[in-house]
Amino acid sequence: MSIELFNLSGKIALVTGSTHGLGMAMAKGLGKAGATIVVNGNSSQQKIDDAIKIYESEGIKAVGYKFNVTKEDEVIDAISAIQSEVGLIDILVNNAGIIKRTPLEDMEVEDFKAVIDVDLVSPFIVSKHVVKGMIARKQGKIINICSMMSELGRNTVGAYAAAKGGLKMLTQNMATEWAKHNIQTNGIGPGYFATSQTAPIRVDGHPFNEFIINRTPAAKWGDPDDLAGAAIFLGSRASDFVNGHVVYVDGGILATIGKPSNEK
């Protein structure tokens, strides 16, 4: 019975921004639990095709759709195509996101708006059009990928923090409005992970590498696979009475304001 609670066989999961990185890691977790993965990206069809090969090499059934999550007309067309060609979406993971590292006093308004558009507005757009099918079926799972910046500020990421803070509250409001339809809306807040993007700074002697290791009670960067469990839990029957929460997968950073346990 306990294993069946996490079984996603027969489920269809749309994961935006799932051609690489943490989005792919979470999608792989859902796929290995039995779900069919709908891969989304916007940069190129080739990246989507390459990602599908990676999923399939690990025994995961995957299909791909290229669309811009900030363009409502593209989202509507894509969801219609997915529903007719693949099936109704059971799990939605709003993962697509961008960050622009600029001090607020130097940031262009257009750049600020671009971050808000992708990181906050697009989860609203995609969820709005996916949830209608979930409401009709009286079941569904929506997972918004938040951040530690949903809780904390940090230099040069003001737009990102504003968006992710807003996404936390959007998650709570989605839960408030849609829980009555047996739809669970929650978030995942990743900490600092060892990805290709962070590789240049994950070297001995780099100040930020030392900062992360010293300030994380777990004393290490996270492995992207560490996110799979949270995604499976929030996408499965195991979370059927969990609504409006953000699960922080951060090695304990948000748990402490003082010296973490690995410091003397």
Instruction: Give the strand order in the sheet containing 183-190.
Output: 62-66, 36-41, 12-15, 91-94, 140-145, 183-190, 246-249
DSSP codes, 121-156: IHHHHHHHHHHHHHHHHT-EEEEEE--GGGT---TT
**Measured between alpha carbons, how far is 256 from 261 in angstroms, rounded to an integer?**
9
Task: Give the start-end residues of each E strand in the chain.
Answer: 12-15, 36-41, 62-66, 91-94, 140-145, 183-190, 246-249
> Looking at this protein, which amino acid is placed at residue 189?
G
Which residue bears the tokens 């290995």?
32
Rg of the chain over all Cα atoms, to the nearest angstrom:
18
Neighbours of 18 (CB within 10 A): 30
**Measured between alpha carbons, how far is 60 from 218 in angstroms, rounded to an integer?**
31
163 in Cβ contact with 221 (< 8 Å): no
55 is an active site residue: no
Active-site pick, 55, 65, 160, 192: 160
Active site residues: 160
